[in-house]
Amino acid sequence: MIRRPLELFACSLTGGVLALVYGDAAWEGVAGTLAGSALWITLDNVRAARVLNWLRHGHAVNPPRVSTVWAEVVERSRKGFKALNRKARKSEARLQEFLAAIQASPNGVVLLDKTSAIEWCNFTSAQHLGFDSKRDVRQQIRNLIRDPAFIAYLNAGDFSKPVEIDGRDAYPGHPQRISIQIHVYGKGRRLLLTRDVTAVEQAEAMRRDFVANVSHEIRTPLTVVSGFIETLQHLDVSDEERRRYLALMGQQAQRMQTLVSDLLTLSRLEGSPIPGSSEWVSSQDLLSQVVDEARALSDVLAQGSHDLVAEPSPLFQIAGARSELVSAMSNLLSNAVRYTPAHGQIRAGWALLADGSVEFHVQDTGPGIEAEHLPRLTERFYRVDRSRSRETGGTGLGLAIVKHVAQRHGGHMLVDSVVGQGSRFRIVLPPSRVLSD
């Protein structure tokens, strides 16, 4: 700090001495001193201006070379700038990490300012709502999401519950439902979260349909049974009639029992682990068991008039759950027996396929199924011939069980059918589950 007054003093003194050496009068000495001071002040101002100019640009590089106290000002500022820059870089890196985490979120995130203009949004929200995460920044959200339900939600200002709208990818036959909820934070800012709830909605719709279907299936036999009970309680009926009523009640009870048993099979299939390769089942055993069962059913339904044949089949072992395989195969055979009129032909057997996989097939000469129904046959409770299905004790769950069992064994179910000629159902199992005898 002492350098500045010393410099000023030295300049003034030099000015004064030079004036006295070259001049004659005393006033010239005073003028020389003043001129020396003025020169120093000018020099100092130039240094101050250089420092200020450097400070104005606000960065730590290329500091001006200045002397006296200005050198210290520059050095301290330089260090301050460096520390600030380091801090800013750290904050920037953390912000970027934070934004990357929000980008990775499966939910959409949009930050809105007080006027509901977009400040920032992640890709997921842009995908859900159909806007561009870069181009649409600063746009009013209400100009981008025109759905009346959302506009009403925004205007009402009650954000305690979410609102649902169609997503960008929704079109007839391909629903996409997006749930949007706004949360207010800071000084009037808003956080808008989006979530794809299509799968949840579909699962909920399936659950509703399923409950409705089961209730419907059970209501009819229950109504019949309770009607007969009331009749037997309040009316005098002959022994003959009583026997007939009891037989009909027994049939309906059986129908409910079959339904419950199929439902339990399905729920077991859904809830249990995939069958491993520790249990090996003989193809021949399976075939004879299901064909015997089908013959018994044919005896009941068509007095055994079906021409039911187990075709000569290759012998091999299958890795899988015996009870599941029996259930799937006998479902196909019992369908063939139930839907093929008396004296029709039914053929069942195994075949080895070229790629090492195997197929179990059931061919009948029944009524056949129109092509439009084929893709829906494995839906639960889907029936082509409702009355025939019910009359013969069908639950509408048989092919759903077959498909499930095939898939659990790494295979699939195929159907070929020609109306008026018959149907061929196949279960194909992969080579990994087959061991030739």
Site residues (CB under 6 A) for ligand ADP, limited to 302-361: 331, 335-336, 339
Judged by CB under 6 A, which of 11, 395, 404, 411 binds ligand ADP?
395
Residue 382 CB, shortest distance to ligand ADP, in Å, is 6
CA angle 32, 34, 35 (to 5 degrees): 60
Q: For every residue of 370-422, which 3-state class applies, written as one string?
A: CHHHHHHCCCCCCCCCHHHHHHCCCCCCHHHHHHHHHHHCCCEEEEEEECCCE
Supply the minimum distance, in Å, between the C-beta of residue 120 and ligand ADP: 52
> What three-state secondary structure class fits 363?
strand
Q: Which of 192, 294, 319, 399 binds ligand ADP (CB under 6 A)?
A: 399
Among positions 221, 275, 344, 398, the unique one binding ligand ADP when judged by CB under 6 A: 398
Strands 358-364 and 307-310: unpaired
- Cβ proximity to ligand ADP: between 129 and 291 the closer is 291
* Closer residue to ligand ADP, CB minimum distance, 44 or 262: 262
Q: Which is nearer to ligand ADP, 51 or 369 (CB)?
A: 369
Among the residue ranges 128-136, 233-241, 290-298, 390-398, the one whose residues contact ligand ADP (CB under 6 A): 390-398
Quick check: helix, strand or coil at residue 148? Answer: helix
- At 425, give phi and psi (nearest 5°): -105, 140
Token representation of residue 21 = 């050496």
HSE-CB at 313 with a 13 A cutoff on CA atoms is 26
> Which range binds ligand ADP by CB under 6 A, 114-122, 132-140, 351-359, 362-370?
362-370
Place of tokens 């005898």: 437
Largest alpha-carbon pair distance within the chain?
160
Q: Is 217 in the site for ligand ADP (CB under 6 A)?
A: no
Compute the distance between CA of residue 208 and CA of residue 240 in angstroms, rounded to an integer. Answer: 43
Q: Of the candidates 112, 364, 406, 427, which one interacts with ligand ADP according to CB under 6 A?
A: 364
Residue whose C-alpha is closest to residue 358's, from 404, 310, 409, 288: 409
- With residue 163 as reference, give the H or E element that holds it: strand 163-166
* Cross-strand pairs, 192: 110, 182
Give min distance, CB of 386 to ligand ADP, in A: 7
Please tell me whether residue 423 binds ligand ADP under the rule CB under 6 A.
Answer: yes
Question: CB of 401 within 8 A of CB of 262?
Answer: yes
CB nearer ligand ADP, residue 44 or residue 364:
364
267: nearest Cα among 200, 311, 210: 210
Among 110, 396, 404, 409, binds ligand ADP (CB under 6 A): 396
Q: Which of 68, 64, 52 is nearest to 11 (CA)?
A: 68
Relative to beta strand 345-352, strand 358-364 is antiparallel
Q: Does residue number 221 form part of the binding site for ligand ADP (CB under 6 A)?
A: no
The answer to whether 394 contacts ligand ADP (rule: CB under 6 A) is yes
Given 60, 197, 384, 414, the residue binding ligand ADP (CB under 6 A)? 384
Contacting range for ligand ADP; rule: CB under 6 A; set: 153-161, 200-208, 366-374, 404-412: 366-374
Reference 339, options 403, 262, 421, 258; nearest CA is: 421
* Half-sphere exposure for 161 (CA within 13 Å, toward CB): 5
Nearer residue to ligand ADP within complex by CB, 192 or 369 = 369
Identify which range of 47-55, 114-122, 271-279, 379-387 contacts ligand ADP by CB under 6 A. Answer: 379-387
125 is a site residue for ligand ADP (CB under 6 A): no
Span interacting with ligand ADP, options 138-146, 153-161, 196-204, 392-400, rule CB under 6 A: 392-400
Query: Total residues at the site for ligand ADP (CB under 6 A)?
Result: 22
Q: How far is the CB of 405 from ligand ADP (least distance, A)?
A: 13
Nearer of residues 333 and 434 to ligand ADP, judged by Cβ? 333
* Residue 413 makes contact with ligand ADP by CB under 6 A: no
Chain centroid to Cα 216, Å, comes to 31
**By the criterion CB under 6 A, which residues form the site for ligand ADP?**
331, 335-336, 339, 364, 366-367, 369, 377, 382-385, 389, 394-400, 423
